[in-house]
Amino acid sequence: MSKAIGILGGMGPAATVDLMARLIAATPVECEADHLRLLVDCNPHVPNRNEALASTGEYPADALVAMAQGLERQGADLLAIACNSAYAWAAEIRAGTGVPLVSMIDATVAMIPAGARRIGLLAADACLHARLYQTPLERSGHEVLVPEDQAGFMRLIYGVKTGHEDASARAGMAALAQDLIDRGAEIVVAACTEVPLLLSAADIPVPLVDSTDALVRRLVAEATA
């Protein structure tokens, strides 16, 4: 019997739907009943993670824990968050529930080849502030590069959250990734779940490590074990 996955989503909604669609596509099935049970709390009212870690907004820990507890009551056997930055409050979620929280951060870092020296990181302000990726990557001997135009990156991310995924937005994200590559990045990490909605592996000349894909692989493996 497979395990039910509880998803803390809505940060933002399009990235949550993308995660769900990829989970469905990645699950090996022979009939409808073989698909995984997904319990999803798509809550766009979770306080802004970037503002929280910049000390300009409300902290989201209480909202995230309440979502996790609700999913646990509904029968979730595993929890995951469709937002990299929200993993800054992973400790509070784990303390508030009895259900394992699968780490998108750990899953993504595990997909990065040890031989790659310079890693280009496309991540939201909160994710960078919390050093969710910089700390484990630097401990493994990697050098981490972030966009010189982080404000431009954030504009694109907030644009996706309001439905702007047009050619101009895709070109803007590709340009930010190319800047990292021009500065020496051997791999680009899509460390924000909105990034894959604008950038694909075919858009850049170096490997793209996609955090949503990494989480999907880990979740399918754990849910079907």
CA pair distance 68, 172, nearest whole angstrom: 35
Q: How many residues does the chain have?
A: 225
Amino acid at position 53, single letter: L
Burial (Cβ within 10 Å: 0-12, 13-18, ≥19) of residue 188: buried
pTM: 0.97
Give catalytic status of residue 42 as yes or no: no
- Return the half-sphere exposure (C-beta side, CA atoms, 13 A cut-off) of residue 134: 15
Do 5-104+213-224 and 105-211 have matching folds? yes
Domain boundaries, the chain: 5-104+213-224, 105-211
The predicted pLDDT at position 1 comes to: 85
What pLDDT, on a 0 to 100 scale, did the predictor assign at position 39?
98
Which parts of the chain have pLDDT scores under 70? none
Percent of the chain whose pLDDT exceeds 70? 100
* Amino acid 13: pLDDT: 97
State the fold for domain 5-104+213-224. Answer: Rossmann fold (3.40.50)
Q: Which residues pair with 8 in a beta bridge?
A: 41, 81
Instruction: Look at the domain 105-211 and name its fold.
Output: Rossmann fold (3.40.50)
Nearest residue to 64 (alpha-carbon basis) of 24, 23, 6, 108: 6
What gap in Å lies between CA 73 and CA 169, rounded to an integer? 39
- Is residue 83 annotated as part of the catalytic site, yes or no? yes
What pLDDT is stored for residue 114 in this prediction?
85
